[in-house]
Structures are given as structure tokens and as C-alpha cells.
């Protein structure tokens, strides 16, 4: 067992660190203030070749592994968590189910478009009446001739305003409960599809979160993903990996907050010396760093397991639970290190604190992660 990142992983880390600091950092506060997403940054991510990190080159991907992907999300989130989640939702929620369940034609058409960054992806599960109880969805799909007709709406869709390809879950037969759910690949140009209300949020304000509406949306039969009745399993299996992307986002947020707090503590003088000389601050920084390192080990381990082809659902739920909780703790402490200045928008730590909160909520609340984890522990 060894814990050293390979040369390739270190290269990915360095490339993303430089990209995040130079291309995302300077405008992050302004984009947060304006609640605006910048497609220019997406185009640069496309040029960098990071929109399909774990997908094979034959589908337009980088042919790298899941560990490389989580390192990328971590490094982006260290500077701007909105960019981190944009890549995470695009890769592990929209790309993954097409890679795992798509036909060769679907992969060549849709995975390739997403992997090259030509199209952005989104994942549509949550509805106004079904969040944690994902199987309780009301959006319906009915087969009419050669087309599926989708009716209903989905909310809190990450990348909703900019995505071209939507992975949508809908009920084909309510009597069958979760066994009636099917998954579809929907293009934004399909008749009856529209983007609804844009959410105004506490954090990750420069990522796009919208409602999407299916008003008798017509989807060609060949855009069914997997089989009818497999949709719920596809949704859950997708989240198994997606949750580790959120762990990586939370990890990046926490590391970014610690970096700022450490630098500030060294230059802020009180009582005639830098506050970094005070044990009260030293202990805070030590606790923050220790929790971050533990979260990193869990997150990298879950990605490594996926790369090894062994089960990772349990480890992913654990990494998401732990990393998001410590991101919240660490960012609150970072604001504390900054004192009154930390509470202002002059410094980035208040943004990190606001951004951290969602990681405890989306891709399954942390209460749901505990259900998933205890389910593994207690199963016969
Ligand atoms: N892999 C494969 N199959 C799975 C599975 C998994 N991880 N989890 C459940 N299943 C299967 C079960 O084996 C079962 O199959 P059978 O019927 O064949 O036995 C079936 O699915 C139903 O399982 P449950 O009875 O456990 O389902 P449930 O209705 O009780 O729900 C739940 C389980 C864990 C609570 C699930 O609903 C859940 O994860 N809820 C949270 C939803 C969520 O995470 N939403 C996030 C939205 S996306 C998002 O947030 C993105 C973003 O913005 C960035």
C-alpha cells in the first residue's frame, strides 16, 4: 500500500491548480456577486481537455482515471466551488450513466459530445415533491409510436441553464413504483423541453441551478437509456460515483479555506505579533488540516476503488458525508481566524463558508448518506 500520487496524477494536480488560480480565481468573487456563470471558463476547460477525464479516448475523453477526475474537481473547488460542481455534475452525473448504460451509438453521439466539452451535461432526478424520496417522482413518460412523451418538471438542476444534454428519469407506470422508472437522454432542442426558473442561492452562486420543464416533450425511442424499469437503479448507481465528486468539491472548499486562513494568520498582527504565534490559532489550523487530510484519504480511496473495479458505493457515501461535514466546520473556523474581516466580502472565506453548505445537502443529504452507510452495515 502506498499513498504517493503517480506522476500523471501530480501533473493533473499541477495543471488544474494553475488553471484554477489563473483562469477561475481572479473573477470568482465577481461571478459570485453577479450570480453568473461564465461560458468562457467552460470553453477554456474544453481546451484543457478536462471535460471527459475518465472516458476512453475513443469517446473523446482523456482516457485517464477517476482519481484524476476527483483531483481535478478538488483543485477547481479550492478556488471556485461553482466551477468544481459544474465539472462534477457534467462528468459523473451526466457522462457516467451514458458510459455505463448507453448503446454504442449513444456513446458515440452523446458521450463524445460531453467528453469533448462541445455539449454540457446535466442530471434530472429531483422534483418539487420528491427530493430524498427519489422514487416518488411524478414526471411521466408514455410511449407514442416511435417517441416517448415526457410530462412534468424537475428542480434544482445543476448546469440547467447551460447544458445541452439532460439525463432525465421519469415514471412509465406508477403502479410499479421504482420498477416503472426509466432513464432518457434528452437534448435541449427537443420539442416540449424548456428551462424554467433560475434559483437564487446562498452559495455556489455562479453555478447554474434551474428548473427544467417537460411539456409533452418528445424524445426519440432510441434515446431511452438502459431498459424500461432500470431507471431507478441507473439513478442510484450514478449517484454512487457522483457523491465522491461532491466529496472532492467539499475537500477543495475546505483546503481553499485553510490556505487563506493560514496565510492570513501569518500576516495579521495583534498583541504585537502575528496571530499565527498564538496557540488558539495554531490549534485551529492543526485541527482543520487534520480533518482535511482524513477527508482526502476517504475521497481518493473511493476513487481508487472505482478505478480498481471494486465496489465503491459505501466508500463514496462515507467520503461525501465526512468531507462535506468537515468542509462546513473548516470554513466556519476559517471565518473565525479572519475575525470581523472574514465576515465581509473583502475576503474569500465567507464565500467558501456559503459554498460549503450545499455539499451537505445535494447528491443526497447527509442524513441519506447515513441511511446508505447503515444499509451496507446491516444487510444480511
Ligand atoms: N445501486 C444499485 N441499486 C440500488 C442502489 C444502488 N446504489 N440503491 C438502491 N438500489 C435498488 C435496490 O436494490 C432496490 O432494488 P430492488 O427493487 O430490485 O430490490 C431498489 O433500488 C429500491 O431501493 P430502496 O428500497 O433502497 O429505495 P428507496 O426508495 O428506499 O430509496 C434512497 C433509497 C437511498 C433513500 C434513495 O431514494 C436516495 O438515494 N435518495 C436521495 C436522492 C438523491 O441523492 N438525490 C440527489 C439529486 S441529484 C443532485 O443533487 C445533483 C446536484 O445538484 C449536483
What pLDDT score was predicted for residue 155? 98
**From 77, 87, 134, 376, mutation site for ligand 1 pocket: most ligand atoms within 8 A of C-beta:** 134
| Section 122-139 average pLDDT | 98
User: Under a CB-based contact definition with an 8 Å cutoff, are residues 4 and 67 in contact?
Assistant: no
Among protein residues, the one whose CA lies closest to atom 11 of ligand 1: 233
| Residue 137: all three cell numbers together | 417522482
pLDDT at 1 over 80: no
Residue 105 banded pLDDT, cuts 50, 70, 90: very high
Strands (E), the chain: 121-124, 140-144, 147-158, 165-171, 181-187, 193-198, 209-220, 224-225, 269-270, 273-274
The CA 171 to ligand 1 mean position distance, Å, reads 15
Distance from the CA of 179 to the center of ligand 1, in angstroms? 12
Beta bridge partners of 324: none
Mean pLDDT on 62-68: 98
- Index of the ligand 1 atom closest to the CA of residue 136: 29
Single out the catalytic residue among 7, 8, 363, 367.
363
- pLDDT tens column, 73-87: 999 999 999 999 999
Q: Is the CB of 312 under 6 A from ligand 1?
A: no
pLDDT at 95: 98
CA atoms within 13 Å, Cβ hemisphere of 131: 12
Cα of 139 vs centre of ligand 1, distance in Å, is 17
Predicted confidence (pLDDT) per residue in 136-192, tens digit: 999 999 999 999 999 999 999 999 999 999 999 999 999 999 999 999 999 999 999
Grid coordinates of 208: 447554474
Q: Mean pLDDT, the chain, as a whole number? A: 98
Q: What percent of the chain has pLDDT over 90?
A: 99
Q: Is 91 in the pocket of ligand 1 (CB under 6 A)?
A: no
pLDDT at 232: 98
Is the pTM higher than 0.95? The answer reads: yes
pLDDT above 70 as % of the chain? 100
pLDDT tens-digit series, residues 220-260: 999 999 999 999 999 999 999 999 999 999 999 999 999 99
**Nearest CA among 322, 350, 325, 346 for reference residue 335:** 350
371 CB under 6 A from ligand 1?
A: yes
Question: pLDDT by residue (tens digit) across 259-295?
Answer: 999 999 999 999 999 999 999 999 999 999 999 999 9
H helix count then E strand count, the chain: 13, 10
Quick one: residue 210, left, alpha or beta (phi over 0 = left, psi -120 to 50 = alpha)?
beta
pLDDT of residue 63: 98
Using alpha carbons, select from 163, 183, 157 the residue that is nearest to residue 113. 163
**Looking at residue 380, what is its pLDDT?**
85
Active site residue 363: yes
Among 233, 234, 358, 380, which is best to mutate for testing ligand 1, by the most ligand atoms less than 8 A from CB? 233
CB atoms closer than 10 angstroms to residue 354: 18
Q: Has residue 124 got a pLDDT over 90?
A: yes
In this predicted structure, the answer to whether residue 335 has a pLDDT above a threshold of 80 is: yes
Question: How far is 367 from 362, CA to CA, in rounded Å?
Answer: 11
Mean pLDDT across 55-62? 98
Parallel/antiparallel/unpaired status of strands 165-171 and 121-124:
parallel
CA of 232 to the centre of ligand 1 (A): 7
- How far does the centroid of ligand 1 lie from the alpha carbon of residue 239, in Å? 8
Q: Is the CB of 365 under 6 A from ligand 1?
A: no
The three-class DSSP label of residue 289 is helix
- CA angle 190–200–118, rounded 5-degree value: 40
DSSP 318-334: HHHHHHHHHHHHHHHHH
Q: Is the pLDDT of residue 2 over 90?
A: no
- To the nearest 10 degrees (0 to 180), the angle between helices 349-359 and 25-34 is 70
181 lines ligand 1 (CB under 6 A): no
Amino acid at each position: 500500500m502506498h499513498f504517493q500520487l503517480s506522476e500523471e496524477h501530480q501533473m493533473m494536480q499541477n495543471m488544474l491548480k494553475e488553471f484554477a488560480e489563473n483562469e477561475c480565481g481572479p473573477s470568482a468573487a465577481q461571478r459570485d456577486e453577479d450570480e453568473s456563470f461564465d461560458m468562457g471558463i467552460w470553453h477554456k476547460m474544453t481546451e484543457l481537455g478536462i471535460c471527459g477525464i475518465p472516458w476512453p479516448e475513443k469517446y473523446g475523453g482523456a482516457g485517464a482515471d477517476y482519481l484524476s477526475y476527483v483531483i481535478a474537481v478538488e483543485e477547481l473547488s479550492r478556488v471556485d466551488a461553482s466551477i468544481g460542481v459544474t465539472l462534477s455534475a457534467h462528468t459523473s452525473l451526466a457522462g457516467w450513466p451514458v458510459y455505463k448504460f448507453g448503446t454504442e451509438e449513444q456513446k458515440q453521439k452523446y458521450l463524445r459530445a460531453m467528453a469533448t466539452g462541445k455539449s454540457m451535461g446535466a442530471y434530472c432526478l429531483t422534483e418539487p415533491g420528491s427530493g430524498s424520496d427519489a422514487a416518488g417522482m411524478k414526471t411521466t413518460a408514455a410511449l407514442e409510436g416511435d417517441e416517448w412523451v415526457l410530462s412534468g418538471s424537475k428542480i434544482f438542476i445543476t448546469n440547467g441553464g447551460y447544458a445541452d444534454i439532460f439525463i432525465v428519469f421519469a415514471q412509465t407506470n406508477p403502479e410499479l413504483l421504482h420498477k416503472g422508472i426509466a432513464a432518457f437522454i434528452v437534448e435541449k432542442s427537443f420539442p416540449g423541453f424548456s428551462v424554467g426558473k433560475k434559483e437564487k442561492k446562498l452559495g455556489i452562486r455562479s453555478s447554474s441551478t434551474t428548473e427544467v420543464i417537460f411539456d409533452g416533450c418528445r424524445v426519440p425511442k432510441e434515446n431511452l437509456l438502459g431498459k424500461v424499469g432500470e431507471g431507478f437503479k441507473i439513478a442510484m448507481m450514478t449517484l454512487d460515483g457522483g457523491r465522491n465528486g461532491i466529496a472532492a468539491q467539499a475537500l477543495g472548499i475546505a483546503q481553499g479555506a485553510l490556505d487563506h486562513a493560514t496565510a492570513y494568520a501569518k500576516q495579521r498582527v495583534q498583541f504585537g505579533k502575528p496571530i499565527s504565534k498564538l496557540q488558539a490559532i495554531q490549534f485551529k489550523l492543526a485541527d482543520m488540516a487534520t480533518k482535511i487530510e482524513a477527508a482526502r484519504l476517504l475521497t481518493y480511496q473511493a476513487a481508487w476503488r472505482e478505478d480498481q473495479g471494486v465496489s465503491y458505493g459505501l466508500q463514496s457515501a462515507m467520503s461525501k458525508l465526512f468531507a462535506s461535514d468537515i468542509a462546513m466546520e473548516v470554513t466556519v473556523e476559517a471565518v473565525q481566524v479572519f475575525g470581523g474581516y472574514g465576515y465581509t466580502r473583502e475576503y474569500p472565506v465567507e464565500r467558501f463558508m456559503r459554498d460549503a453548505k450545499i455539499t451537505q445537502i445535494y447528491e443526497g443529504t447527509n442524513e441519506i448518506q447515513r441511511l446508505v452507510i447503515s444499509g451496507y452495515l446491516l444487510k444480511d
